[in-house]
Amino acid sequence: MDIEQIRKDTPGCHDKLFLNSAGSSLPPKTVNERIIEYLEEEERYGGYRLAEMKRAGIAGFYQEAALLLNTSSKNIAFTSSATESFARVLSAIPFNSGDVILTTDNDYVSSFLQFLSLKERFGVEIERIQHLENGDLDLEQAAKMMEQHQPKLVTLAHIPTSSGLVQDAEAIGKLCREHDCLFLLDACQSAGQLPLDVNQLNCDFLSATGRKFLRGPRGTGLLYVSDHALNQGLAPLFIDLRGATWTEPGKYELSRKARRFEQWEMPYALMMGLKEAIGYANQVGLENIARKNSALSNLLRKELAGLKGVQVYDRGSHKASIITFKKENLTIQDHVHMLQENNVFFSVTSRDSAIYDYTEKGVEQLVRLSPHYFNTEEEISDLAEIIEQI
Ligand SMILES: Cc1ncc(COP(=O)(O)O)c(C=O)c1O
């Protein structure tokens, strides 16, 4: 990995300690260049003509995303966020009263809100796979729950928003195949930091966002839809003329591709930005990114463990590049003040984003740091010194 070149390509990384790639990362400068180029051409030609002229470039978005996930272009949809991808999948599943959604304690807040909304409106039941003491999913219990509940949908956050836990998506995918359940993987925090192979993961759907570890623009997301799901005729409840063709007064035909999950109106300039970001990640290599991130986050956890009064809250036998911590006897405001004063960019995660997890950990708020491969070991050491002084 050519870290010097990577940092040269990242204008935002030089004048601060940027540790918020789990929030909204720093894009490579070519991402904005592609967006601006496209917008300037829209100014000259108008959006409709330009989209026709750029057909090959637009197809390139689907190819890059397919390469990222080891699938085909036809299985990729562009969306505006991970939440939109997720909601479109939920709307595609014909839930009836009593149907079970099987999830985990570490799923995203908006996912839980959507499950609760489905429960209120359609009587869907929500069940959760339990975890072991170290935070890993209890796979034996997961198998039993699939047997017992025959869930209509199994879904989990690969990496939650609120800690560095990596949930064993591959093992759950395998169980879903064995039990013939639909599997929706929320890869919002893993896309761009871990290699993802939808065939190995055995997922029917995978949702992701552009702005986090993929380093794309805000307002972008993507969705993978398997052939298994497409062949079942699953489609969002509110399709539009991109996803289907109105063939007769009372009939329509669904697109055979994942684009049935898209809407006709799209921000093509942003799509070009996301294509550039994914292309950049593909070129650096997801294995390389994962290795570097693992080194950075292990170093940060080790440094924090050596500091008096600091408690790190991440669990699991496999941890990602999200580090959550707090210093004893200090308020979160004390942490925020000190970190901001030292030009550290970070997030604070609150219990209302992680009701099950933070209740179990007995915390209201934690500081969340999320290094990415453009960060350096020196930055991690500088950060540890700042945290020591809080
Ligand atoms: C695990 C996880 N899933 C889903 C989302 C939602 O992503 P978006 O805001 O792009 O909809 C987030 C955002 O933080 C997340 O961390």
Residue nearest to atom 16 of ligand 1 (CA): 161
Cβ(164) – ligand 1 distance below 6 Å: no
6 — pLDDT class (breaks 50, 70, 90): very high
Which of 21, 25, 79, 83 maximizes ligand 1 atoms within 8 Å of its Cβ, making it the mutation to test the pocket? 83
With a 6 Å cutoff on the Cβ, whether 87 touches ligand 1 is no
Count the alpha carbons within 13 Å of 73 in the hemisphere toward its beta carbon: 9
pLDDT digits (tens, 9 = 90+) for 158-184: 999 999 999 999 999 999 999 999 999
| Pocket lining: 220 vs ligand 1, CB cutoff 6 Å | no
Judged on CB neighbours under 10 Å (0-12, 13-18, 19+), 325 is: buried
Tell me if 255 CB under 6 Å of ligand 1. no
Ligand 1 pocket, residue 82 CB under 6 Å: yes
* Domains of the chain, start order: 3-27+285-388 (3.90.1150.10), 29-283 (3.40.640.10)
Nearest to 169 by CA among 383, 160, 114, 340: 160
pLDDT digits (tens, 9 = 90+) for 250-281: 999 999 999 999 999 999 999 999 999 999 99
pLDDT, one tens digit per residue, over 8-33 is 999 999 999 999 999 999 999 999 99
The H or E element that residue 383 is part of is helix 377-388
CB 345 near ligand 1, within 6 Å: no
Cα 21 to ligand 1 centroid, rounded to whole Å: 12
Does ligand 1 come within 6 angstroms of the Cβ of 293?
no
Q: Is the CB of 217 under 6 A from ligand 1?
A: no
Torsional class of 260: left (φ above 0), alpha (ψ -120 to 50), beta (otherwise): alpha
CA-proximal residue: ligand 1, atom 14 (nearest): 161
Residue 135 clears pLDDT 90, i.e. is over it: yes
**Residue range 191-211: average pLDDT?**
98
C-alpha 20 to ligand 1 mean position (Å): 14
Q: Report how far apart, in Å, the C-alpha atoms of 36 and of each of 42, 64, 134, 271, 292 are.
A: 10, 20, 46, 12, 31
In this prediction, residue 390 carries a pLDDT of: 83
CB of 186 within 6 A of ligand 1: the answer is: yes
